[in-house]
Amino acid sequence: MILVTGIAMPSDHYGKDAAIAGLLETHQADGRSEPVAIQLPIGPAVAVAVEERSFLAFDDEKIPILTRQFSAWVPDPDGTTIGVVSVMTNCWQDWDHVCVLATEIFDSFEWHELSST
């Protein structure tokens, strides 16, 4: 199963470079993964791949679950909003395919002005 999510959130930065630096610092401090600055067609972004191990309890048995998520954190042109697109799977066999799909989705990311009508 593959899950794709997207969200936009406010940023305390003004400018793409400041937003990218802040994203790299935040994700490095988190310690769950090594963030990477990337260049998308829309502009600079930060990519992060995270792996989380958990268990599903079934009767007296614990079934291991491995969830992997690949995300792009993309600042808007003025750096005050961050768009986050994540592709997640709990099927380790499909991880390579999920990464290819994620990069294709990241490459298609665009910012659009909201209309007042």
Q: Is the pLDDT of residue 116 over 80?
A: no
- What would the pLDDT profile of 3-32 be if each residue is shown by its tens digit? 999 999 999 888 999 999 999 999 999 888
pLDDT of res. 56: 87
pLDDT of res. 10: 94
**Once rounded to an integer, what is the mean pLDDT over residues 89-117?**
88
Domain limits of the chain? 2-107
- What would the pLDDT profile of 66-93 be if each residue is shown by its tens digit? 999 999 999 999 989 999 999 999 988 8
Helix/strand/coil (H, E, C) string of 44-71? EEEEEEEEEEEEEEECCEEEEEEEEEEE
pLDDT of res. 14: 87
Whole-number Cα distances in Å, 99 to 54, 67, 105 = 21, 13, 10
Cβ atoms within 10 Å, residue 102 = 23
pLDDT of res. 109: 95
Q: 89 or 1: whose pLDDT is higher? A: 89
Q: What mean pLDDT value characterizes the chain?
A: 92
Structural class in CATH, domain 2-107: alpha beta
pLDDT of res. 33: 87
